[in-house]
Structure formats: C-alpha cells, structure tokens
C-alpha cells in the first residue's frame, strides 16, 4: 500500500498527539522510539543520497531542488508523486495503515534520495559505512524556531507546543522533537570534515539560488546548463512551491495536517523572526550574520563550510574509484560478501594507484616525489639517501607512520612481514598536498641501489621484485653522474620485466647535471646498450626521456621532459579506472553465472529427488509386500499349517479363510514341500534387498529452501539491476570528462 492510499484508509479517530521519549538524550516522537531497532538497523546503499536538516530548516525546498537536478530540470517528472513519496522520511513512523518511512525506502529501487532530521550521532551507521553523500541544510536559529512553532500548531501528531513563549523555552532547552538546534547544526558541522557532506545555508539559497543550485549539482556529479538552472530556480521559488500540490503537502488531510491554521509553506523569508520575537528569551540566541558559521568562534568565511566544493572538489575519477570500491565492500550487499556466499573470491579494487620509484643511489627519486606533491616530504641532499621503503600518500593532516601502522594502513602488504628486516624499515608519510592528482596516488620511495660491498638490513632485491608485482607503475631513474650502470638496478629491472614489463618506465634523471648535450647522449647510449645486453630486456624498445627538477634560479638549456612523467601517471590512473570498471562488470557476470549454476543445480536436484522418491516408494512397497507373502506362507504354505487351522477354526471357517488367500495358496501348492524353506529364505532375502534399495534410492540431494532461493535471486537482481546500472553511470560520468555529451549519447 503506497502512502497516499494508506492516508485515505486511515481512521481520523485514531489520530492522537504523540509524546516525546529520549534516545541517548535526544527527545524523539514515541512512535520513532518504538521502531528504534529497525531504524538504527536501516541498510543504506552506496548510491543513496540523504538530505538531512533540523526540522523546518528548508528540507522540502532542498528535496525539490535535488529532484529537479536529478530530473534534468523537468517539472513534469517531478510531479510524478508528492514529495513525501519521492523521498521517504526514513525515521517517520505514522499511524497504520501507512507504512513507515524506512519500509517505504526499503521498497524503493536505487538510486534513492532519502530524508532525515536525525542529529549526527543518531543517524543509522550504515550511512557512514557506505560513505553515502549527505546534504545538510542549516537555517538561522530564530527563523527556524518560528517556523517550527507554527508547524507544531498545524500538525495533529506533534506534542502540544503551548504558546510562543512556552515553545521558545523548550526550543532553547532542546526539549522538543529531534532535540537541540545547537547540538544538531554543530554536530553536522563537525561531521563534514570526516564524510562527504555538503553543508548548505538556507540564507545562501535565498540570496543566490542559481549559484547554490550549481554547487549542489556539482556535489551530485551533475553538470547543468544555464537554461536548466534557470528552470530549477523558477520551479523552486517559494511562490511556485507554495502552489505546487506535489510539494506543499496539500494532499495530506486536515485531520493530520490542518493547514487552515497555518499553511505548511508559510512565508519562506529570511528575517521573519523579527515579527515574532518580543520575548526576553531572544537574548540567549546566537547572532547569525551571513559571514560566520554556526558554532564557529573564529568567524571563518562561509565558503569554508565546503572546502571540497570548487577548487578542491572531489574529482570524477576519485568518485568513480571510491564508489566502485564501496560496491565491493558493502557489509550486506557488497560484491565480496555476495561472492563469498557463492564460493567466489573477489578482490575489491584499490582506490589509489601505487607508483614505485626506484633507481640507483642519488638518482633523485625523493626529489621528484617532493616536486610532484609540491611539499618537502622526503629528506633530500648530497649526503642523504633513502634507507628503507616509504609510502607517500595524501590525508587530512601531516603525519608519519611506522612499519606496523603502515601494514595496518595497507593490509594487502602484510606479506612483507615474511621479509626479514623490511617491516623495521617501512614507513608512511601522510601529507595534505593540494596537487590535483595526488589524492589518487600513493608513491613508494625505495632505497638507493649501489654495487660493491654495500649491505642492506633486508633482502632489497626480493622486496623490490615483490613490490613490483603489486604496484601499478614503476618509474626507474638512472643518475648520469653516479652509478648509472648499477648492476643491482639492472638485475632487479630484468627480473621485474619478466612478468610486469608493461609497468616499467625508464628516465634519465638529473639530466641538467650531465654536462653538454653530447655528454647526455653518451650516457643515454651507455645505459640503453647495457639494458640491451640483458636477455630479458633486449627485446624492449627503450624510450628514456631526460628529466630534472626545474629551478628558476638555475636555468638550463637541457630539454626537460618531466611533464612526461606526470602524463604517464595520469595515463596509469585512467587505465586503472577503466580496469576497475571492467573488473566490476566482469565480477557481476561471474556472480550472475555462479547464481545461475546454483539455481540450475537446485532444479536438477529437485527433479532427481522427485524421481528418486517414486522409485524408493515403489521399491519400498515391494519390500514390504514380501513379508506379507512370507506370513501367508507360514499360514497356508504347508499341509501341517492347513491341518492346524482346520483343528482350531473348524473345517468351514478354515476353508473360508483359505478362500481369501487362494491366489497365494495356489502359488505355494506349486512349490514342493521339501523346497518350502528355501523359497521362504529366498523371499526374505529379496524383501531385505528391496528395502535396502528403497533406502538408498530415497537419499535426497540437498536443495535450497524457498528463503535461500529468494535470497539468491534477490542478490542476483541487485547485482544486475543496481550494481551494473551504477557501473554504467560511473562509466558515463568518467567518459563525460573527455568527450562531448553529444558523442556520449
């Protein structure tokens, strides 16, 4: 039953004002608390979008804006159903027979847009686990309080609000449904630094709706033309919303929402509180100027609310890799979990490309990494050389991790514990570089390689070869001034090339220090000739760009192809995205095939069991009839038995009994009396044999229960309908970066 039909079937006499019950110190409607276990256990999906606000902070407005963005600015598509059906209110538990919000959400196909008023710590944890995108709207506390007061007057389910002063006192104390405004906006403000949350201000949308709509669209991964933005602005104006029956809640009957008292869409203005506030309680409320944030004491600029929007926004490539990864690791619907249940081992894709930089001593590996990330992360200098293996990755703050922490951060490198000495020389440097591609890359800086009696505290050759198997790209730097022809470097490169030659890229680093152009060419020829002497490398075509770190204070005429390294890294990222999406589809097909095999095997097992059942019953009946035949043998199979029954029953009764078993008696008369015992044991043997055959035949093959079969089909349908659809959408988003919309269509 959909929401509208449920409303029509309601009994108005059953409506009553609800009481407040606290959950973790937050007052909630009693019906929400009664269903709390189900709400807390709500299963979010990776592609869910959640719109969350404090009540009456612009929720419906944001819902309509988001739906218009999703529908490409088409108002007709947004008129398909009332807003509360298009975007379920997950914690709302209305009177029966209306389904709860979480039941409505569970019945929806993906991708879903959902609504909640929960404070950050009461949001169902699956939203964090699935890394769902969340849009939070904050509104001036005074306007918010006025709007919430009038909603209490209108709603027949909300607790008694009292008069304005009584309500305001409760509001400030946080003794109303969904608790304290202060805790709510501050909690979500802090959460935006840890999760993909777009923090939007009601007043900003009123001031410049077109700009905020573009910001929202960018967060959702959509590109809107100016005409579409204008259409959305017009459609979501307060005047339009107020007369839109699909958005103004006019489809809700008055016994639930009496809009004769006050319309659901009341004024929608900024500063309406000035007409309502005459109470001395006004003084404790915080000032809300457009230049500052809720709860921020430093008066930071409003743009700081969403540092990821504009400039440092999450790129399409990042989002594709993140969302593809989440499709694998979802606790309930992840492909890894589904695959395990089918006997498949599926590996989730990594969210970053691993680039190993190796080379001889003083080849400039660390200097290149510092140049790329635009921060001085690795120590460099004449007498400084990397002694161990260091991962350089991006993060929220500058941090250094030791070996154990590094292995915890990169669990797929746990096997390094088997390399004696390596964990002690393993570390991670986390930096906050704003370099555009760096969030997609993890660099691995390696020890400088030298020949001679140099001893390493670990098996450097074995470790580098093993790293080469797991890394996506291997940059090999040769130093023209040092041991450019280091045999140890060449040995390792030759070994890696045997299985992973496609990952290797060779560069002559520090090319500006090699003297004149003739000197550089001579060094290049020596390196290439040495590489070609190697049996495993002589079939390769060597392209060895010359690179060096640019220095404005030290101009050089040497050709610098260092940007070629950047392009190579970008190409590897692009290939990784494509491989990830291709692997996603391949794994979906593997799941489909494995599921189909299980279902076909189950059907075969059921058919086999059906036939086996009838064969077993037939053999069992034969096996059971033979003992009866033997019993009759004992009764009438001998002359002595017939004489005995005549003596006991009399001749007439004995003859009557014998008449009933005449067919059997006739058969036994054909058996010579001296063979009777032999026939008896023969029939006994046959009886036992038939019963054993029946028991063997009745052994049933295991089959799936109806529940197991339904779960298999549901998971298969989820993979085919949701995951593959998501994969196609991610591919389109990724391709849209490079080609025109018309070409994509």
Which residues are identified as catalytic?
117
Q: Are 488 and 451 in contact (CB under 8 A)?
A: yes
| Residue 61 structure tokens | 């407005």
In angstroms, the Cα distances linking 671 to 360, 637, 684 are 102, 9, 16
Residue with tokens 């990169």: 410
Q: Are 313 and 529 in contact (CB under 8 A)?
A: no
In angstroms, the Cα distances linking 699 to 610, 694, 706 are 11, 9, 20
The count of C-alpha atoms lying within 13 angstroms of the C-alpha of 334, restricted to the half-sphere facing its C-beta, is 20
Q: Give dist(CA 606, CA 595) in Å, integer.
A: 16
| Residue 448 structure tokens | 């400088």
Q: Give percent helix, percent strand, percent coil of the chain, each to the nearest 5.
A: 55, 10, 40
Mutual angle of helices 181-191 and 141-154, in 10-degree steps: 120
Q: Give dist(CA 624, CA 694) in Å, integer.
A: 10
Q: Give dist(CA 101, CA 424) in Å, integer.
A: 53
User: What phi, psi does 261 have (nearest 5°)?
Assistant: -75, -50
Q: How far is CA 238 from the centre of its chain?
A: 36
Q: Are 391 and 440 in contact (CB under 8 A)?
A: no
User: What phi, psi does 570 have (nearest 5°)?
Assistant: -60, -40
Q: Give dist(CA 188, CA 203) in Å, integer.
A: 17
Sign of the Cα torsion 512, 515, 516, 519 reads: negative
Q: How far is CA 26 from the centre of its chain?
A: 29
Q: Are 226 and 211 in contact (CB under 8 A)?
A: no
Residue with tokens 């991962």: 391
């Amino acid at each position: 039953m959909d929401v509208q039909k449920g409303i029509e079937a309601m009994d108005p006499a059953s409506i009553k004002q609800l009481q407040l019950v606290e959950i973790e110190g937050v007052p909630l409607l009693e019906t929400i608390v009664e269903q709390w276990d189900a709400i807390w256990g709500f299963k979010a999906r990776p592609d869910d979008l959640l719109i969350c606000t404090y009540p009456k902070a612009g929720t419906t407005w944001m819902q309509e804006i988001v739906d218009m963005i999703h529908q490409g600015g088409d108002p007709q598509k947004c008129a398909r159903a009332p807003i509360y059906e298009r975007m379920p209110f997950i914690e709302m538990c209305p009177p029966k027979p209306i389904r709860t919000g979480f039941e409505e959400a569970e019945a929806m196909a993906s991708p879903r847009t959902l609504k909640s008023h929960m404070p950050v710590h009461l949001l169902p944890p699956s939203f964090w686990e699935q890394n769902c995108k969340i849009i939070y709207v904050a509104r001036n506390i005074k306007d918010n309080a006025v709007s919430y007061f009038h909603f209490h007057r209108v709603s027949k389910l909300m607790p008694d609000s009292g008069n304005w002063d009584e309500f305001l006192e409760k509001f400030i104390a946080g003794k109303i449904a969904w608790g304290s405004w202060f805790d709510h906006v501050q909690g979500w403000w802090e959460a935006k630094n840890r999760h993909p949350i777009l923090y939007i201000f009601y007043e900003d949308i009123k001031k410049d709706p077109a700009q905020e709509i573009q910001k929202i669209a960018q967060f959702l991964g959509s590109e809107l033309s100016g005409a579409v933005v204008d259409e959305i602005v017009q459609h979501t104006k307060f005047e339009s919303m107020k007369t839109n029956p699909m958005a103004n809640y006019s489809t809700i009957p008055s016994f639930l929402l009496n809009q004769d008292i006050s319309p659901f869409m009341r004024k929608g203005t900024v500063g309406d509180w000035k007409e309502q506030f005459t109470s001395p309680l006004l003084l404790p409320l915080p000032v809300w100027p457009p230049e500052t944030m809720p709860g921020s004491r430093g008066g930071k600029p409003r743009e700081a609310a969403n540092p990821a929007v504009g400039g440092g926004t999450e790129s399409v490539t990042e989002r594709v890799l993140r969302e593809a990864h989440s499709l694998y690791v979802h606790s309930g619907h992840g492909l890894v979990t589904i695959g395990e249940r089918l006997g498949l081992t599926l590996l989730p894709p990594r969210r970053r490309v691993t680039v190993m930089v190796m080379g001889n001593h003083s080849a400039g590996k660390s200097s290149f990494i510092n140049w790329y990330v635009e921060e001085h992360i690795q120590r460099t200098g004449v007498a400084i050389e990397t002694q161990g293996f260091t991962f350089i990755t991006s993060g929220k703050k500058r941090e250094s991790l030791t070996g154990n922490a590094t292995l915890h951060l990169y669990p797929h490198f746990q096997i390094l514990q088997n390399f004696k000495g390596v964990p002690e020389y393993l570390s991670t440097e986390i930096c906050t570089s704003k370099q555009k591609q760096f969030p997609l890359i993890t660099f691995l800086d390696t020890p400088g390689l030298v020949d001679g009696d140099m001893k390493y505290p670990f098996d450097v050759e074995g470790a580098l070869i093993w790293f080469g198997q797991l890394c996506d790209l291997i940059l090999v730097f040769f130093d023209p001034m040092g041991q450019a022809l280091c045999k140890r470097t060449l040995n390792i490169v030759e070994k890696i090339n045997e299985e992973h030659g496609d990952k290797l890229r060779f560069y002559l680093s520090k090319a500006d220090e090699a003297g004149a152009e003739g000197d550089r060419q001579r060094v290049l020829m020596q390196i290439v000739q040495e590489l070609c002497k190697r049996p495993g490398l002589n079939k390769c075509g060597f392209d060895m760009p010359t690179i060096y770190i640019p220095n404005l204070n030290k101009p050089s005429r040497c050709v610098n192809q260092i940007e070629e390294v950047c392009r190579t890294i970008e190409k590897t990222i692009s290939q990784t995205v494509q491989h990830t999406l291709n692997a996603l589809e391949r794994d979906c097909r593997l799941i489909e095939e494995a599921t189909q095999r299980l279902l076909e095997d189950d059907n075969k097992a059921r058919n086999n069991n059906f036939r086996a059942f009838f064969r077993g019953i037939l053999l069992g009946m034969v096996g059971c009839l033979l003992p009866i035949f033997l019993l009759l043998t004992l009764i009438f199979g001998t002359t002595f038995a017939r004489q005995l029954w005549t003596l006991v029953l009399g001749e007439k009764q004995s003859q009557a009994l014998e008449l009933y078993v005449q067919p059997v008696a006739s058969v036994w008369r054909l058996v010579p009396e001296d063979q009777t015992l032999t026939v008896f044991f023969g029939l006994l043997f046959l009886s036992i044999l038939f019963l054993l055959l029946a028991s063997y035949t009745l052994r049933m093959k295991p089959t799936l229960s109806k529940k197991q079969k339904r779960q298999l089909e549901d998971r298969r349908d989820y993979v085919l309908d949701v995951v593959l659809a998501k994969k196609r959408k991610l591919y389109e988003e990724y391709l849209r970066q490079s080609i025109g919309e018309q070409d994509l269509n």
